[in-house]
Structure 1
Protein backbone atom coordinates (compact mmCIF):
# COMPACT_ATOMS: atom_id res chain seq x y z
CA UNK A 1 0.00 0.00 0.00
CA UNK A 2 1.31 3.45 -0.91
CA UNK A 3 0.29 6.25 1.43
CA UNK A 4 1.14 9.94 1.27
CA UNK A 5 0.51 12.89 3.55
CA UNK A 6 -1.90 14.27 0.95
CA UNK A 7 -3.91 11.06 1.09
CA UNK A 8 -3.96 11.17 4.88
CA UNK A 9 -5.19 14.77 4.76
CA UNK A 10 -7.92 13.88 2.27
CA UNK A 11 -9.02 10.95 4.42
CA UNK A 12 -9.04 13.11 7.53
CA UNK A 13 -11.01 15.87 5.85
CA UNK A 14 -13.63 13.39 4.64
CA UNK A 15 -13.98 11.88 8.09
CA UNK A 16 -14.45 15.25 9.77
CA UNK A 17 -16.94 16.39 7.13
CA UNK A 18 -19.05 13.30 7.82
CA UNK A 19 -18.91 14.16 11.53
CA UNK A 20 -20.34 17.61 10.83
CA UNK A 21 -17.19 19.62 11.58
CA UNK A 22 -17.61 23.01 9.90
CA UNK A 23 -13.99 23.64 8.91
CA UNK A 24 -13.12 20.01 8.26
CA UNK A 25 -10.23 20.64 5.85
CA UNK A 26 -8.58 23.23 8.06
CA UNK A 27 -8.93 21.14 11.21
CA UNK A 28 -7.66 18.00 9.48
CA UNK A 29 -4.60 19.91 8.33
CA UNK A 30 -3.88 21.25 11.82
CA UNK A 31 -4.14 17.75 13.26
CA UNK A 32 -1.89 16.30 10.56
CA UNK A 33 0.77 18.94 11.17
CA UNK A 34 0.50 18.35 14.92
CA UNK A 35 0.77 14.58 14.58
CA UNK A 36 3.81 14.75 12.30
CA UNK A 37 5.43 17.62 14.26
CA UNK A 38 5.83 19.65 11.09
CA UNK A 39 4.70 22.93 9.58
CA UNK A 40 2.79 23.88 6.44
CA UNK A 41 5.92 24.60 4.40
CA UNK A 42 7.41 21.16 5.03
CA UNK A 43 4.03 19.51 4.47
CA UNK A 44 3.78 21.12 1.04
CA UNK A 45 7.26 19.89 0.17
CA UNK A 46 6.62 16.36 1.45
CA UNK A 47 2.91 15.94 0.72
CA UNK A 48 3.30 13.56 -2.26
CA UNK A 49 6.15 11.47 -0.87
CA UNK A 50 5.17 7.86 -0.29
CA UNK A 51 5.56 6.95 3.35
CA UNK A 52 7.73 4.00 4.24
CA UNK A 53 6.19 0.89 5.78
CA UNK A 54 7.69 1.92 9.11
CA UNK A 55 6.13 5.38 8.84
CA UNK A 56 2.71 3.97 7.86
CA UNK A 57 2.60 1.93 11.07
CA UNK A 58 4.38 4.56 13.12
CA UNK A 59 3.41 6.85 15.97
CA UNK A 60 2.62 9.90 13.82
CA UNK A 61 -0.02 8.11 11.75
CA UNK A 62 -1.52 6.59 14.90
CA UNK A 63 -1.63 9.99 16.57
CA UNK A 64 -3.34 11.49 13.54
CA UNK A 65 -6.08 8.86 13.58
CA UNK A 66 -6.47 9.19 17.36
CA UNK A 67 -6.91 12.96 17.11
CA UNK A 68 -9.30 12.58 14.19
CA UNK A 69 -11.42 10.35 16.40
CA UNK A 70 -11.53 12.98 19.12
CA UNK A 71 -12.36 15.78 16.68
CA UNK A 72 -15.10 13.61 15.14
CA UNK A 73 -16.67 13.54 18.59
CA UNK A 74 -16.73 17.36 18.30
CA UNK A 75 -14.08 17.86 20.94
CA UNK A 76 -12.60 21.30 20.16
CA UNK A 77 -9.39 21.36 18.15
CA UNK A 78 -7.64 23.47 20.79
CA UNK A 79 -8.43 20.98 23.54
CA UNK A 80 -6.97 18.18 21.42
CA UNK A 81 -3.74 20.06 20.72
CA UNK A 82 -3.72 21.73 24.15
CA UNK A 83 -2.84 25.08 22.65
CA UNK A 84 -4.43 28.35 21.59
CA UNK A 85 -2.76 31.53 20.35
CA UNK A 86 -4.01 34.77 21.90
CA UNK A 87 -2.43 38.21 21.47
CA UNK A 88 0.51 36.49 19.80
CA UNK A 89 1.14 34.34 22.89
CA UNK A 90 0.74 30.57 23.20
CA UNK A 91 -1.74 29.52 25.92
CA UNK A 92 -2.34 26.03 27.26
CA UNK A 93 -6.04 25.10 27.32
CA UNK A 94 -8.09 22.09 28.39
CA UNK A 95 -11.68 21.19 29.19
CA UNK A 96 -11.66 23.29 32.39
CA UNK A 97 -11.35 26.68 30.68
CA UNK A 98 -13.03 28.66 27.95
CA UNK A 99 -10.91 28.62 24.81
CA UNK A 100 -9.61 32.19 24.26
CA UNK A 101 -11.37 33.91 21.35
CA UNK A 102 -10.02 36.56 19.03
CA UNK A 103 -12.98 38.74 20.07
CA UNK A 104 -11.46 39.06 23.55
CA UNK A 105 -8.30 40.60 22.09
CA UNK A 106 -10.41 43.77 21.62
CA UNK A 107 -10.70 44.01 25.40
CA UNK A 108 -6.98 43.54 26.01
CA UNK A 109 -5.95 45.88 23.21
CA UNK A 110 -8.12 48.71 24.56
CA UNK A 111 -6.69 48.49 28.06
CA UNK A 112 -3.16 48.40 26.65
CA UNK A 113 -3.97 51.53 24.65
CA UNK A 114 -5.66 53.39 27.51
CA UNK A 115 -2.89 52.66 30.02
CA UNK A 116 0.18 52.84 27.81
CA UNK A 117 3.10 54.23 29.79
CA UNK A 118 1.24 53.78 33.09
CA UNK A 119 1.32 51.04 35.69
CA UNK A 120 -2.22 50.47 36.98
CA UNK A 121 -3.16 47.87 39.57
CA UNK A 122 -5.35 45.41 37.65
CA UNK A 123 -7.89 42.80 38.72
CA UNK A 124 -9.06 40.21 36.19
CA UNK A 125 -12.23 38.44 37.30
CA UNK A 126 -13.41 35.15 35.75
CA UNK A 127 -9.84 34.73 34.52
CA UNK A 128 -10.27 31.21 33.10
CA UNK A 129 -7.12 30.37 31.13
CA UNK A 130 -5.56 33.61 32.35
CA UNK A 131 -5.32 34.93 28.80
CA UNK A 132 -6.41 38.47 29.73
CA UNK A 133 -4.32 38.85 32.89
CA UNK A 134 -1.20 37.23 31.42
CA UNK A 135 -1.44 39.21 28.17
CA UNK A 136 -1.79 42.48 30.04
CA UNK A 137 1.16 41.71 32.30
CA UNK A 138 3.32 40.54 29.41
CA UNK A 139 2.46 43.09 26.73
CA UNK A 140 1.71 46.08 28.95
CA UNK A 141 4.52 45.47 31.39
CA UNK A 142 2.01 45.99 34.21
CA UNK A 143 3.58 44.89 37.49
CA UNK A 144 0.52 44.53 39.72
CA UNK A 145 -2.01 42.07 38.30
CA UNK A 146 -4.41 39.87 40.27
CA UNK A 147 -6.43 37.13 38.56
CA UNK A 148 -9.40 35.39 40.18
CA UNK A 149 -11.77 32.59 39.25
CA UNK A 150 -14.40 30.49 41.01
CA UNK A 151 -12.96 27.29 39.48
CA UNK A 152 -9.87 25.77 41.06
CA UNK A 153 -9.26 23.73 37.90
CA UNK A 154 -9.33 26.91 35.80
CA UNK A 155 -6.92 28.64 38.19
CA UNK A 156 -4.48 25.76 37.80
CA UNK A 157 -4.53 26.35 34.03
CA UNK A 158 -4.12 30.12 34.49
CA UNK A 159 -1.17 29.59 36.85
CA UNK A 160 0.46 27.25 34.33
CA UNK A 161 0.10 29.87 31.62
CA UNK A 162 1.37 32.62 33.88
CA UNK A 163 4.49 30.67 34.78
CA UNK A 164 5.13 29.57 31.19
CA UNK A 165 4.80 33.07 29.70
CA UNK A 166 5.89 35.33 32.55
CA UNK A 167 7.76 33.22 35.07
CA UNK A 168 6.73 32.51 38.64
CA UNK A 169 5.16 35.03 41.03
CA UNK A 170 4.41 37.66 38.38
CA UNK A 171 0.63 37.45 38.89
CA UNK A 172 -1.38 36.74 42.04
CA UNK A 173 -4.00 34.03 41.42
CA UNK A 174 -6.96 33.76 43.81
CA UNK A 175 -9.91 31.41 44.15
CA UNK A 176 -12.94 33.69 44.35
CA UNK A 177 -16.58 34.03 43.31
CA UNK A 178 -16.13 37.51 41.83
CA UNK A 179 -15.22 39.72 44.81
CA UNK A 180 -16.01 37.28 47.62
CA UNK A 181 -12.36 36.64 48.53
CA UNK A 182 -11.45 40.35 48.55
CA UNK A 183 -11.59 42.87 51.36
CA UNK A 184 -13.15 46.23 50.55
CA UNK A 185 -9.88 48.04 51.23
CA UNK A 186 -8.25 46.13 48.35
CA UNK A 187 -8.52 48.74 45.63
CA UNK A 188 -7.62 48.55 41.95
CA UNK A 189 -7.23 51.01 39.10
CA UNK A 190 -8.69 48.63 36.52
CA UNK A 191 -11.18 45.80 36.90
CA UNK A 192 -11.54 43.69 33.79
CA UNK A 193 -13.78 40.71 33.17
CA UNK A 194 -15.05 38.42 30.46
CA UNK A 195 -17.88 36.90 32.51
CA UNK A 196 -20.40 34.23 31.47
CA UNK A 197 -22.97 36.07 29.36
CA UNK A 198 -24.93 33.54 27.31
CA UNK A 199 -28.60 33.28 28.39
CA UNK A 200 -29.39 29.83 29.76
CA UNK A 201 -32.06 29.19 27.13
CA UNK A 202 -29.56 29.88 24.34
CA UNK A 203 -27.04 27.38 25.67
CA UNK A 204 -28.81 24.43 24.05
CA UNK A 205 -28.42 25.99 20.60
CA UNK A 206 -24.64 26.38 20.76
CA UNK A 207 -22.34 24.26 18.61
CA UNK A 208 -21.52 20.86 20.18
CA UNK A 209 -17.89 21.92 20.60
CA UNK A 210 -18.98 24.72 22.93
CA UNK A 211 -22.14 23.27 24.48
CA UNK A 212 -20.74 19.84 25.30
CA UNK A 213 -17.03 20.41 25.81
CA UNK A 214 -16.37 23.89 27.21
CA UNK A 215 -17.18 24.61 30.87
CA UNK A 216 -20.81 25.64 31.45
CA UNK A 217 -19.57 27.69 34.41
CA UNK A 218 -17.72 29.98 31.99
CA UNK A 219 -20.63 30.35 29.56
CA UNK A 220 -23.99 30.43 31.32
CA UNK A 221 -25.03 33.99 32.21
CA UNK A 222 -28.27 32.71 33.72
CA UNK A 223 -31.78 33.64 32.59
CA UNK A 224 -31.13 36.79 30.55
CA UNK A 225 -27.34 36.62 30.31
CA UNK A 226 -26.93 39.70 32.52
CA UNK A 227 -26.59 38.13 35.98
CA UNK A 228 -22.83 38.68 36.30
CA UNK A 229 -22.98 42.19 34.82
CA UNK A 230 -25.47 43.18 37.51
CA UNK A 231 -23.07 41.93 40.18
CA UNK A 232 -20.04 43.51 38.52
CA UNK A 233 -21.73 46.87 38.11
CA UNK A 234 -23.01 46.91 41.70
CA UNK A 235 -19.87 45.58 43.39
CA UNK A 236 -16.96 46.93 41.31
CA UNK A 237 -17.22 50.46 42.69
CA UNK A 238 -16.28 49.11 46.15
CA UNK A 239 -12.95 47.83 44.82
CA UNK A 240 -11.90 50.71 42.55
CA UNK A 241 -9.74 53.70 43.32
CA UNK A 242 -11.39 57.04 42.46
CA UNK A 243 -11.08 57.47 38.71
CA UNK A 244 -10.62 53.74 38.27
CA UNK A 245 -12.30 51.95 35.38
CA UNK A 246 -14.12 48.72 34.67
CA UNK A 247 -13.78 46.98 31.29
CA UNK A 248 -16.26 44.24 30.39
CA UNK A 249 -16.52 41.93 27.42
CA UNK A 250 -20.15 41.62 26.30
CA UNK A 251 -22.33 39.67 23.92
CA UNK A 252 -23.05 41.28 20.56
CA UNK A 253 -26.52 42.47 21.67
CA UNK A 254 -25.76 43.52 25.26
CA UNK A 255 -24.14 46.96 24.87
CA UNK A 256 -27.19 49.03 25.84
CA UNK A 257 -28.16 46.81 28.77
CA UNK A 258 -24.64 46.67 30.25
CA UNK A 259 -24.09 50.40 29.68
CA UNK A 260 -27.32 51.12 31.56
CA UNK A 261 -26.26 48.88 34.45
CA UNK A 262 -22.98 50.78 34.78
CA UNK A 263 -24.73 54.16 34.60
CA UNK A 264 -27.24 53.14 37.25
CA UNK A 265 -24.35 52.02 39.47
CA UNK A 266 -22.82 55.51 39.24
CA UNK A 267 -20.18 55.00 36.57
CA UNK A 268 -19.47 57.82 34.12
CA UNK A 269 -17.72 58.15 30.76
CA UNK A 270 -19.37 55.00 29.43
CA UNK A 271 -17.64 53.84 26.23
CA UNK A 272 -17.95 50.83 23.95
CA UNK A 273 -15.89 49.19 21.21
CA UNK A 274 -16.54 46.72 18.41
CA UNK A 275 -14.50 43.64 17.63
CA UNK A 276 -12.82 42.94 14.29
CA UNK A 277 -16.12 41.68 12.88
CA UNK A 278 -17.86 44.96 13.72
CA UNK A 279 -19.90 43.52 16.59
CA UNK A 280 -20.27 45.31 19.94
CA UNK A 281 -17.77 43.58 22.21
CA UNK A 282 -16.51 45.79 25.08
CA UNK A 283 -18.12 48.29 27.44
CA UNK A 284 -16.19 50.47 29.89
CA UNK A 285 -17.08 52.89 32.66
CA UNK A 286 -15.12 55.13 35.04
CA UNK A 287 -15.71 55.62 38.77
CA UNK A 288 -16.14 59.33 39.40
CA UNK A 289 -13.40 61.00 41.47
Structure 2
Protein backbone atom coordinates (compact mmCIF):
# COMPACT_ATOMS: atom_id res chain seq x y z
CA UNK A 1 0.00 0.00 0.00
CA UNK A 2 1.30 3.41 -0.99
CA UNK A 3 0.99 6.15 1.60
CA UNK A 4 0.78 9.86 0.85
CA UNK A 5 2.39 12.39 3.17
CA UNK A 6 -0.88 13.20 4.92
CA UNK A 7 -1.78 9.51 5.21
CA UNK A 8 1.66 8.76 6.63
CA UNK A 9 1.27 11.49 9.24
CA UNK A 10 -2.19 10.24 10.22
CA UNK A 11 -0.90 6.67 10.43
CA UNK A 12 2.07 7.74 12.51
CA UNK A 13 -0.10 9.76 14.91
CA UNK A 14 -2.51 6.87 15.43
CA UNK A 15 0.35 4.43 15.99
CA UNK A 16 1.95 6.62 18.64
CA UNK A 17 -1.36 7.48 20.29
CA UNK A 18 -2.18 3.77 20.59
CA UNK A 19 1.15 3.26 22.35
CA UNK A 20 0.36 6.14 24.75
CA UNK A 21 3.39 8.12 23.60
CA UNK A 22 3.51 11.66 24.99
CA UNK A 23 3.34 14.35 22.29
CA UNK A 24 2.32 12.01 19.46
CA UNK A 25 1.42 14.77 16.99
CA UNK A 26 4.84 16.43 17.01
CA UNK A 27 6.73 13.13 17.13
CA UNK A 28 4.70 11.79 14.20
CA UNK A 29 5.40 14.85 12.10
CA UNK A 30 9.14 14.77 12.81
CA UNK A 31 9.40 11.07 11.98
CA UNK A 32 7.42 11.45 8.75
CA UNK A 33 9.52 14.44 7.68
CA UNK A 34 12.73 12.51 8.27
CA UNK A 35 11.56 9.26 6.67
CA UNK A 36 10.04 10.94 3.62
CA UNK A 37 12.73 13.62 3.22
CA UNK A 38 9.96 16.19 3.54
CA UNK A 39 9.47 19.49 5.33
CA UNK A 40 6.57 20.69 7.43
CA UNK A 41 5.60 22.89 4.49
CA UNK A 42 5.54 19.86 2.16
CA UNK A 43 2.97 18.11 4.34
CA UNK A 44 0.71 21.17 4.09
CA UNK A 45 1.26 22.19 0.47
CA UNK A 46 1.79 18.78 -1.12
CA UNK A 47 -0.14 16.39 1.16
CA UNK A 48 -0.82 13.80 -1.55
CA UNK A 49 2.78 13.26 -2.50
CA UNK A 50 3.39 9.51 -2.26
CA UNK A 51 6.13 7.96 -0.19
CA UNK A 52 8.41 5.47 -1.90
CA UNK A 53 8.47 1.90 -0.67
CA UNK A 54 11.84 2.60 0.94
CA UNK A 55 10.51 5.71 2.71
CA UNK A 56 7.50 3.79 3.98
CA UNK A 57 9.75 1.05 5.34
CA UNK A 58 11.93 3.66 7.05
CA UNK A 59 8.89 5.23 8.64
CA UNK A 60 7.69 1.87 9.95
CA UNK A 61 11.13 1.27 11.45
CA UNK A 62 11.10 4.68 13.11
CA UNK A 63 7.62 4.09 14.53
CA UNK A 64 8.54 0.67 15.90
CA UNK A 65 11.52 2.19 17.68
CA UNK A 66 9.46 5.07 19.07
CA UNK A 67 6.80 2.66 20.36
CA UNK A 68 9.62 0.99 22.32
CA UNK A 69 10.17 4.45 23.86
CA UNK A 70 13.40 5.25 22.07
CA UNK A 71 13.62 9.06 21.98
CA UNK A 72 13.01 10.80 18.67
CA UNK A 73 16.39 12.50 19.07
CA UNK A 74 18.11 9.10 19.09
CA UNK A 75 16.08 7.78 16.16
CA UNK A 76 16.96 10.81 14.05
CA UNK A 77 20.40 11.36 15.58
CA UNK A 78 19.86 15.07 16.11
CA UNK A 79 18.16 17.60 18.35
CA UNK A 80 17.62 21.32 18.06
CA UNK A 81 18.82 23.41 21.00
CA UNK A 82 18.71 27.20 21.27
CA UNK A 83 19.58 28.25 17.71
CA UNK A 84 21.77 25.29 16.75
CA UNK A 85 21.26 21.69 15.65
CA UNK A 86 23.23 19.05 17.52
CA UNK A 87 24.08 15.45 16.84
CA UNK A 88 23.06 13.24 19.77
CA UNK A 89 23.17 9.56 20.67
CA UNK A 90 23.05 7.30 23.72
CA UNK A 91 26.41 8.62 24.95
CA UNK A 92 25.05 12.09 25.79
CA UNK A 93 21.99 13.67 27.34
CA UNK A 94 19.45 14.88 24.83
CA UNK A 95 19.50 18.68 25.32
CA UNK A 96 16.26 20.09 26.70
CA UNK A 97 14.64 23.52 26.58
CA UNK A 98 15.12 23.87 30.37
CA UNK A 99 18.89 23.99 29.84
CA UNK A 100 18.53 26.94 27.47
CA UNK A 101 18.10 29.05 30.62
CA UNK A 102 21.86 28.68 31.18
CA UNK A 103 22.60 29.89 27.65
CA UNK A 104 20.18 32.79 28.01
CA UNK A 105 21.83 33.94 31.24
CA UNK A 106 25.36 33.87 29.76
CA UNK A 107 24.23 35.84 26.72
CA UNK A 108 22.48 38.40 28.93
CA UNK A 109 25.68 38.90 30.94
CA UNK A 110 27.94 39.32 27.91
CA UNK A 111 27.99 41.41 24.74
CA UNK A 112 28.15 40.15 21.17
CA UNK A 113 31.78 41.00 20.46
CA UNK A 114 33.13 40.51 23.98
CA UNK A 115 36.17 38.31 24.34
CA UNK A 116 35.88 36.01 27.35
CA UNK A 117 36.93 32.55 28.46
CA UNK A 118 34.34 29.98 29.46
CA UNK A 119 34.44 26.41 30.73
CA UNK A 120 31.57 23.91 30.55
CA UNK A 121 31.98 21.21 33.19
CA UNK A 122 30.36 17.99 32.00
CA UNK A 123 30.08 19.27 28.44
CA UNK A 124 28.19 16.26 27.02
CA UNK A 125 27.02 16.99 23.47
CA UNK A 126 28.43 20.52 23.75
CA UNK A 127 24.95 22.05 23.85
CA UNK A 128 25.54 24.91 26.31
CA UNK A 129 29.08 25.75 25.25
CA UNK A 130 28.42 25.67 21.51
CA UNK A 131 25.13 27.58 21.73
CA UNK A 132 26.95 30.41 23.53
CA UNK A 133 30.02 30.44 21.27
CA UNK A 134 27.83 30.47 18.16
CA UNK A 135 26.64 33.91 19.28
CA UNK A 136 29.89 35.14 20.84
CA UNK A 137 32.54 34.85 18.07
CA UNK A 138 35.31 36.49 20.12
CA UNK A 139 34.88 34.08 23.05
CA UNK A 140 36.85 30.90 23.69
CA UNK A 141 35.51 27.82 25.43
CA UNK A 142 36.80 24.69 27.13
CA UNK A 143 34.56 21.66 27.50
CA UNK A 144 35.43 18.95 30.00
CA UNK A 145 33.80 15.56 30.38
CA UNK A 146 34.77 12.28 31.99
CA UNK A 147 33.27 10.38 29.05
CA UNK A 148 35.43 10.06 25.94
CA UNK A 149 32.32 8.97 24.02
CA UNK A 150 30.55 12.20 24.97
CA UNK A 151 33.59 14.23 23.96
CA UNK A 152 33.54 12.58 20.54
CA UNK A 153 29.97 13.79 20.05
CA UNK A 154 30.92 17.30 21.20
CA UNK A 155 33.90 17.36 18.81
CA UNK A 156 31.69 16.42 15.88
CA UNK A 157 29.16 19.08 16.83
CA UNK A 158 31.83 21.76 17.15
CA UNK A 159 33.19 20.83 13.72
CA UNK A 160 29.79 20.78 12.02
CA UNK A 161 28.91 24.16 13.51
CA UNK A 162 32.21 25.68 12.39
CA UNK A 163 33.22 26.36 15.98
CA UNK A 164 36.23 24.05 16.34
CA UNK A 165 38.55 27.08 16.36
CA UNK A 166 36.86 28.50 19.44
CA UNK A 167 36.66 25.27 21.43
CA UNK A 168 38.99 22.92 23.25
CA UNK A 169 37.59 19.63 24.54
CA UNK A 170 39.35 17.60 27.20
CA UNK A 171 38.68 14.45 29.19
CA UNK A 172 38.80 15.15 32.88
CA UNK A 173 37.17 14.95 36.29
CA UNK A 174 35.37 18.28 36.72
CA UNK A 175 38.02 20.93 37.48
CA UNK A 176 40.96 18.61 38.18
CA UNK A 177 44.11 20.12 36.72
CA UNK A 178 42.63 23.54 36.02
CA UNK A 179 44.49 26.54 37.40
CA UNK A 180 43.14 29.06 39.89
CA UNK A 181 41.27 32.07 38.46
CA UNK A 182 41.36 30.68 34.91
CA UNK A 183 37.92 31.52 33.50
CA UNK A 184 35.52 34.42 33.20
CA UNK A 185 32.48 32.15 33.11
CA UNK A 186 31.75 28.64 34.39
CA UNK A 187 28.66 26.71 33.30
CA UNK A 188 27.48 23.20 34.04
CA UNK A 189 24.51 20.88 33.84
CA UNK A 190 25.70 18.24 36.30
CA UNK A 191 23.90 15.00 37.23
CA UNK A 192 21.27 15.88 39.83
CA UNK A 193 18.71 13.06 39.95
CA UNK A 194 18.61 11.25 43.28
CA UNK A 195 19.49 7.56 42.90
CA UNK A 196 16.13 6.25 44.11
CA UNK A 197 14.29 8.55 41.68
CA UNK A 198 16.07 7.21 38.58
CA UNK A 199 13.84 4.15 38.23
CA UNK A 200 10.72 6.34 38.27
CA UNK A 201 11.81 8.36 35.22
CA UNK A 202 10.18 7.95 31.82
CA UNK A 203 11.69 5.10 29.78
CA UNK A 204 13.04 7.60 27.23
CA UNK A 205 15.36 8.91 29.94
CA UNK A 206 15.81 5.89 32.22
CA UNK A 207 16.59 3.38 29.48
CA UNK A 208 18.29 5.47 26.80
CA UNK A 209 20.28 8.28 28.41
CA UNK A 210 23.67 7.83 30.10
CA UNK A 211 23.24 7.19 33.82
CA UNK A 212 26.58 8.90 34.44
CA UNK A 213 25.00 12.18 33.32
CA UNK A 214 21.86 11.69 35.41
CA UNK A 215 22.67 10.17 38.80
CA UNK A 216 23.50 12.68 41.51
CA UNK A 217 23.80 10.40 44.52
CA UNK A 218 21.42 9.68 47.38
CA UNK A 219 20.05 13.24 47.52
CA UNK A 220 21.02 14.39 44.03
CA UNK A 221 23.55 16.89 45.38
CA UNK A 222 26.85 14.99 45.13
CA UNK A 223 28.12 16.96 42.12
CA UNK A 224 27.27 20.35 43.65
CA UNK A 225 29.22 19.56 46.81
CA UNK A 226 32.31 19.06 44.67
CA UNK A 227 31.59 21.84 42.21
CA UNK A 228 30.71 24.78 44.45
CA UNK A 229 34.18 25.40 45.94
CA UNK A 230 35.95 24.32 42.76
CA UNK A 231 33.94 26.65 40.53
CA UNK A 232 34.83 29.55 42.81
CA UNK A 233 38.49 28.47 42.65
CA UNK A 234 38.73 28.48 38.85
CA UNK A 235 36.70 31.66 38.33
CA UNK A 236 38.53 34.90 37.75
CA UNK A 237 37.73 37.79 40.11
CA UNK A 238 34.33 39.21 39.09
CA UNK A 239 33.68 36.05 37.05
CA UNK A 240 30.25 34.42 37.21
CA UNK A 241 28.74 30.95 37.03
CA UNK A 242 25.42 29.50 35.85
CA UNK A 243 24.59 25.96 36.96
CA UNK A 244 21.47 23.94 36.20
CA UNK A 245 19.64 22.35 39.13
CA UNK A 246 16.66 20.13 39.78
CA UNK A 247 13.37 21.95 40.36
CA UNK A 248 13.46 21.27 44.14
CA UNK A 249 17.17 21.94 44.82
CA UNK A 250 17.27 25.74 44.96
CA UNK A 251 17.85 26.21 48.68
CA UNK A 252 20.42 23.43 49.03
CA UNK A 253 22.51 24.46 46.01
CA UNK A 254 22.36 28.18 46.83
CA UNK A 255 23.60 27.35 50.34
CA UNK A 256 26.53 25.34 48.97
CA UNK A 257 27.67 28.22 46.78
CA UNK A 258 27.28 30.79 49.55
CA UNK A 259 29.32 28.58 51.88
CA UNK A 260 31.99 28.39 49.18
CA UNK A 261 32.18 32.20 49.12
CA UNK A 262 30.02 33.12 46.12
CA UNK A 263 28.37 36.54 45.91
CA UNK A 264 25.08 37.60 44.33
CA UNK A 265 23.71 34.06 44.46
CA UNK A 266 20.23 33.76 43.00
CA UNK A 267 18.06 31.27 41.12
CA UNK A 268 16.48 31.77 37.70
CA UNK A 269 13.23 30.06 36.76
CA UNK A 270 12.57 28.27 33.49
CA UNK A 271 9.64 28.72 31.09
CA UNK A 272 7.57 26.34 33.23
CA UNK A 273 8.18 28.68 36.19
CA UNK A 274 10.32 26.12 38.00
CA UNK A 275 13.63 26.87 39.70
CA UNK A 276 16.25 25.88 37.13
CA UNK A 277 19.60 27.73 37.21
CA UNK A 278 21.66 28.95 40.16
CA UNK A 279 23.95 31.81 39.26
CA UNK A 280 26.36 34.01 41.16
CA UNK A 281 29.74 35.68 41.02
CA UNK A 282 33.14 35.61 42.62
CA UNK A 283 33.74 38.41 45.07
CA UNK A 284 36.87 40.22 43.84
CA UNK A 285 37.78 40.95 47.44
CA UNK A 286 37.62 37.28 48.40
CA UNK A 287 41.05 36.05 49.33
CA UNK A 288 42.40 33.49 46.89
CA UNK A 289 42.93 30.12 48.56
Into which bin does the TM-score normalised by the smaller protein fall?
A: over 0.9
Tell whether 2:184 aligns with 1:189.
yes
The more displaced of 257-266 and 25-34 is 25-34
Are 1:130 and 2:126 counterparts?
yes
1:237-265 deviation digits (Å, cap 9, x = unpaired): 22121222221111111111111000011
Whether 1:10 aligns to 2:10 is yes
Contiguous gaps of at least 5 residues in structure 1: none
Query: Are 1:136 and 1:142, in contact at CA under 8 Å, matched by a contact in 2?
Result: no
In structure 2, distance between residues paired with 1:39 and 1:178 = 41
SS at match of 1:241: strand
Between 65-74 and 234-243, report the one with greater CA deviation: 234-243
Alpha-carbon deviations, 1:94-118, whole Å to 9, x = none?
1111011111111111111112253
Alignment of 1:112 onto 2:107 = yes
RMSD of aligned Cα (Å): 1.6
How many residues align structurally? Answer: 283
Residue-by-residue CA offset, 1:108-133 (whole Å, 9 max, x unaligned): 11111112253221110011110111
TM-score if structure 1 supplies the norm length? 0.93
Secondary structure in 1 aligned to 2:151?
helix
Tell me how far 1:2 sits from its aligned partner.
5.7
Structure 2 unpaired stretches of 5+: 285-289
2:279 to 270, 279, 284: 284
**Cα drift, residue 186 of structure 1:** 6.5
Query: Where does residue 96 of structure 2 map in the other structure?
Result: 101
Correspondences of 1:1-289 after superposition (within 5 Å): 1=1, 3-48=3-48, 51=50, 55-56=51-52, 58-116=53-111, 117-180=113-176, 182-185=177-180, 187-289=182-284
Determine helix, strand or coil for the equivalent of 1:269: strand
| TM-score (normalised: structure 2) | 0.93
